[in-house]
Amino acid sequence: MIVRDLYIDRYDWHLRVFYAVDCYYTRDIINELRAIQCPRNNLERAYRNMASCRLNTGLTYSNNALRETLMVIGTWSSPAEFDNSFSHELRHFTDHVAKAFGLETGGEDVAYLSGEIRRELFPVNKMFLCTCCNHEKDIEREICRCKT
């Protein structure tokens, strides 16, 4: 599992992204959700999703009052499925911010926010998108870096 934390200054919002999450990490993710006060019904749904061990899934939960979001990108079956899962979860995140700040869904502010997040996370995302070279060593380095 790889973890990245982003602080979006403009919205005073913290985004924590978990990559390559499989069912082994279910309890860790549930504990992270509890830390940002995720309601019980959402915790139960997240637990079922995570414990199913299915590929190409994810979840995003935001606590608007705390301005905290947890985004989980589960393991995937192909680079295209990774991109699909990431885009899907990113859309949920940008919708949460838009709702919290009364931004126009589909408007420029939301589009810029999405682009900024993608740009900041590109160094990690590119390892999972590229099919032209072998990124196994890069991925192993990132996983090891997250464990320390």
pLDDT tens digits for 12-67?
A: 999 999 999 999 999 999 999 999 999 999 999 999 999 999 999 999 999 999 99
What pLDDT score was predicted for residue 46? 95
Domains in the chain, number:
1
Residue 11 tokens, joined: 């919205």
Backbone angles phi, psi at 16, to 5 degrees: -115, 120
Give pLDDT, residue 138: 61
Which residues, other chains included, contact 110 with Cβ-Cβ below 8 Å and sequence gap of 6+?
A: 94, 97, 98, 103, 104
pLDDT recorded at residue 141: 62
The domain of 120 spans 2-147
Q: Tell me what pLDDT residue 68 has.
A: 98
Ranges 31-40, 67-76, 129-138: which has the least confidence: 129-138
Between 129 and 39, the higher pLDDT residue: 39
Q: Measure the CA angle with vertex 112, ends 106 and 113; round to 5°.
A: 90
What is the rounded CA–CA span in Å between residue 17 and residue 121?
9
Q: What is the pLDDT of residue 100?
A: 96
**Considering the entire predicted model, what is its pTM?**
0.87
CA geometry: angle at 53 spanning 95 and 58, to 5°? 10
Asked if residue 73 has pLDDT above 70, the reply is yes
Give the residue from 71, 78, 101 showing the smallest Cα distance to 6. Answer: 71
pLDDT score, position 130: 74
Q: Let me know: does 49 contact 59? Beta carbons within 8 Å.
A: yes
